[in-house]
């Protein structure tokens, strides 16, 4: 499977987080939210404009489009 930015997944698609690209602040903030390598994530909402809503662990998180591009995932079926 290919590794791609989280922002490219359609609603209903999910994957395993492989890496987070970006500076220390971005990586720390995403880690605090639970975005860590190996975690499962599923997209609930991904519209052309506005944030993505994703499920992560037992909850849902809204993240900006730019941040979603920094989260690299391996798509799962």
Q: Residue 21 sits in a domain of what CATH number?
A: 2.30.30.90
Residue 64, pLDDT score: 94
Give the side-chain half-sphere CA count within 13 A for 40.
8
Average pLDDT over residues 36-51: 94
Write out the residue range of the structural domain in which residue 7 sits.
3-76
Q: How many CA atoms lie within 13 A of 27 on its CB side?
A: 9
Q: Count how many domains the chain has.
A: 1
Percent of the chain topping pLDDT 70: 100
């Amino acid at each position: 499977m290919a590794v791609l930015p989280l922002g490219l997944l359609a609603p209903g698609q999910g994957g395993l987080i492989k890496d987070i690209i970006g500076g220390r602040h971005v990586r720390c903030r995403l880690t605090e939210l639970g975005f860590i390598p190996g975690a499962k994530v599923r997209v609930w909402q991904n519209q052309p404009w506005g944030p993505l809503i994703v499920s992560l662990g037992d909850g849902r998180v809204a993240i900006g489009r730019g941040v979603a591009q920094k989260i690299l995932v391996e798509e799962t079926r």
